[in-house]
């Protein structure tokens, strides 16, 4: 019994000194004295293995390497937070909160935005049972063994069940010391504290994690509690022994938010850790629940980012990258420069208009910034340092990836590859669009599966989908025999489609569902559409010069015509028809109205609303313009509703729309 008490006393002493050193930054004993206590406990546990427990400080030391990380499904998603970059966005956020809550003023909990790795800690029966990374927000990796080595994470708490979320990071001084050791050993240095911390947490060998001086700060209590505010929840976590940021504060309204942002910005360089902004959260938890979430982010929170850091470097060359939608982006190859915590060797020039406006030339000295501390971009040119041999960059006439013609419409700043169905750079996007619900409607063919099919070169164009067998699909990740069989059946079913679906599925620039329907009605079959010139295309209802040119350019490209022939050969078919007359309602001057549907309707689907309107001879458009007559706004209406208000377009709520529909 005396031995057990001695062991427990040593553990308590070590945990106390861990907290003083790692959390409070106020050590009371020397490293040598700490090491002596640690070795004493280690020796006792080695001599009496039954006394060793999972929450002992000795168990923080890394063990044998793990073969792989298991997947952890988060009980509550670990969502990202929307960003703001200027005062107006912050004031707009505060206004949205006040209007949504119907109050005069809102109290916010404000805290620095750590530049580290988000993790979730789960305690069961008072002991750390599981630690996981954020991952994709829905599921992460089980890194419990590694997080046990982080001294500021309590292994044991005075609570039975608890889930805590926070950030693992590395102090600047510890990062500098790590890189000094790397240099001394002739090994590669780490770029920034965040990468060093994230890499350490995701090591398969937890002994490596243990060798880094990682820190943890808690920023959220997920488990249900009696606390009424976010700040009270953080106070509770601090009382339980979790490190919580000292720089947090409670502020009132937008002015309080902006004052806090300025104050922390002034302290930023002196903080022991790296931050890239501050985070604002509505303090009352019941208000947070009322406000809810939009997409993958909470409505009640906002990350206010600090201006990006800037550096000067030299443009060694300019190349183009082809994006998933065929857009050609000029990219400057730079003399390596350290900006915003990372070494930058490339920076975006956005498009030709920006390239010409900034007058960036090969050989120039330029100022580079990490926009939002993420994407490097060229801000401006130091023209006074321009060498005589600086060369102007010219866009290629052919796609550097597939050799298709590069086109640029007058209304766009972007050059595009015209080989949409053929170009490898656009392949994944083309296949995903082709399989989407309103196109060929191939259920089960999602992004992860398309990624595998393209990466393994099983699919080079949409027609290749129809050549795949059950065996081909069954050999892919997360595809069982039954799923593979279902997908083959879906593909076979999708071969019999309609002309308007097929036209939309081709992914022609500027051709949405409505235009695809108009083209199908006008031409009756695909063949006359592929042969149509721009003048003939302009005869189609609501097809203007920009859309007509996009369609003509698409069918002019031989690669796209070959991809269509391959679809026919693969068995894709559609009923042909004579060109349809315009609906009766369109014959009456001024009688045809244009509607835009947005949000979720309670009484009918948007497809049903579209069908009802078109049956009465009216149009349904995909975007709001000055020509729009009505916008029908359901629940969770988004940017289309805002644009309608900005343009003064009449907005109909569902009840008003249904009444109008009866009288049209």
Which residues participate in catalysis according to the annotation? Answer: 113
Tally of CA atoms within 13 A in the half-sphere of 21 that contains its CB: 17
Question: How are beta strands 630-633 and 594-598 bridged, if at all?
Answer: parallel
> What token pair was written down for 101?
């809550």
Which residues partner with 333 through β-bridges? 317, 346
H or E element that contains 595: strand 594-598
As a three-state string, the secondary structure of 359-401 is CCCECCEEEEEEECCCEEEEEEECHHHCCCCCECCCCCCECCC
- Looking at residue 322, what DSSP letter applies? E
How far apart (Å, rounded) are the C-alpha atoms in residues 109 and 282? 6
Tally of CA atoms within 13 A in the half-sphere of 184 that contains its CB: 6
Could you give the dihedral angle defined by the CA atoms of residues 564, 567, 569 and 574, in that order, rounded to the nearest 10 degrees? -100
* Contact assessment for residue 45 and residue 53, using Cβ atoms and an 8 Å cutoff: no
Neighbours of 522 (CB within 10 A): 19
The stretches of 426-557 forming alpha helices (DSSP H) are: 427-435, 447-455, 470-474, 481-494, 499-505, 513-523, 526-531, 534-537, 545-556
Our CA angle for 513, 519, 525, nearest 5°, is: 120
Tally of CA atoms within 13 A in the half-sphere of 664 that contains its CB: 25
> What token pair was written down for 156?
């044991």
* Contact assessment for residue 164 and residue 222, using Cβ atoms and an 8 Å cutoff: yes
φ/ψ (deg, to 5) at 238: -65, -40
Of residues 412, 433, 396, the one with CA closest to residue 322 = 396
In 253-326, beta strands by DSSP E: 275-282, 293-294, 297-298, 301-305, 310-322
Give the contacts of 245 (CB within 8 A, at least 6 positions apart).
111, 112, 114, 217, 219
The two most distant CA atoms of the chain are separated, in Å, by: 99
* Contact assessment for residue 315 and residue 297, using Cβ atoms and an 8 Å cutoff: no
């Amino acid at each position: 019994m005396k031995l057990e008490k001695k062991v427990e006393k040593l553990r308590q002493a070590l945990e106390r000194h861990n907290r003083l050193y790692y959390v409070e930054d106020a050590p009371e004993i020397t490293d040598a004295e700490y090491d002596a206590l640690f070795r004493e406990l280690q020796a006792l546990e080695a001599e009496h293995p039954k006394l060793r427990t999972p929450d002992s400080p000795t168990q923080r030391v890394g063990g044998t390497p793990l073969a792989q990380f298991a997947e952890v499904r988060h009980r509550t998603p670990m969502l990202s937070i929307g960003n703001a970059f200027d005062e107006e966005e912050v004031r707009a956020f505060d206004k949205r909160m006040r209007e949504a809550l119907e109050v005069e003023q809102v109290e916010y909990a404000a805290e620095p935005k750590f530049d580290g790795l988000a993790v979730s800690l789960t305690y069961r029966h008072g002991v750390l049972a599981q630690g996981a990374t954020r991952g994709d927000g829905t599921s992460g990796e089980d890194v419990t063994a590694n997080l046990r080595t982080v001294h500021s994470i309590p292994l044991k708490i005075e609570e039975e069940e608890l889930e805590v979320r926070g950030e693992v990071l590395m102090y600047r001084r510890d990062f500098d010391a790590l890189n000094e050791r790397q240099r001394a050993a002739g090994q590669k240095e780490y770029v920034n504290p965040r990468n060093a911390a994230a890499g350490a947490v995701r090591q398969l060998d937890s002994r490596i994690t243990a060798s880094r001086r990682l820190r943890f700060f808690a920023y959220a209590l997920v488990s249900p509690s009696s606390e009424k505010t976010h700040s009270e929840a953080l106070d509770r976590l601090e009382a339980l022994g979790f490190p919580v940021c000292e720089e947090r504060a409670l502020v009132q309204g937008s002015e309080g938010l902006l004052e806090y942002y300025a104050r922390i910005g002034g302290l930023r360089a002196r903080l022991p850790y790296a931050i890239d902004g501050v985070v604002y959260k509505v303090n009352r938890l019941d208000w947070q629940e009322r406000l809810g979430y939009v997409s993958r982010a909470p409505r009640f929170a906002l990350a206010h980012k600090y201006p990006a850091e800037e550096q000067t470097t030299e443009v060694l060359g300019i190349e183009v990258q082809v994006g998933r939608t065929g857009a050609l982006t000029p990219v400057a190859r730079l003399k390596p420069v350290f900006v915003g915590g990372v070494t930058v060797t490339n920076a975006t020039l956005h498009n030709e208009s920006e390239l010409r406006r900034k007058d960036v030339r090969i050989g120039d000295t330029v100022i580079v910034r990490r926009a939002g501390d993420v994407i490097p971009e060229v801000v401006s040119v130091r023209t006074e340092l321009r060498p005589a041999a600086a060369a102007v960059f010219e866009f290629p006439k052919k796609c550097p990836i597939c050799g298709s013609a590069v086109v640029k419409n007058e209304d766009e700043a972007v050059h595009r590859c015209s080989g949409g169905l053929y170009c490898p750079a656009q392949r994944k996007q083309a296949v995903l669009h082709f399989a989407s619900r309103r196109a060929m409607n191939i259920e089960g063919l999602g992004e992860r599966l398309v990624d595998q099919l393209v990466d393994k070169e099983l699919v080079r164009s949409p027609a290749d989908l129809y050549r795949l067998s059950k065996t081909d699909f069954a050999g892919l990740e997360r595809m069982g025999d039954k799923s593979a069989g279902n997908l083959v059946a879906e593909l076979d079913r999708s071969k019999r489609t309609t002309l308007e679906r097929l036209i939309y599925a081709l992914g022609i620039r500027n051709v949405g569902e409505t235009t695809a329907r108009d083209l199908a009605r006008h031409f009756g079959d695909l063949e006359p559409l592929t042969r149509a010139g721009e003048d003939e295309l302009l005869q189609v209802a609501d097809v203007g010069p920009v859309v007509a040119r996009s369609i003509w350019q698409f069918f002019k490209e031989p690669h796209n015509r070959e991809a269509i022939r391959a679809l026919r050969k693969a068995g894709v078919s559609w009923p042909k028809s004579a060109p349809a007359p315009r609906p009766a309602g369109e014959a009456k001057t001024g009688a045809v109205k244009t509607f835009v549907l947005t949000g979720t309707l309670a009484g009918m689907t948007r497809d049903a609303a579209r069908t009802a309107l078109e049956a009465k001879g009216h149009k349904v458009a995909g975007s709001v313009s000055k020509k729009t007559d009505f916008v029908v706004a359901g629940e969770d209406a988004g940017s289309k509703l805002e644009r309608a208000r900005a343009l003064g377009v009449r907005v109909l709520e569902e009840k008003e729309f249904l009444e109008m529909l009866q009288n049209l």
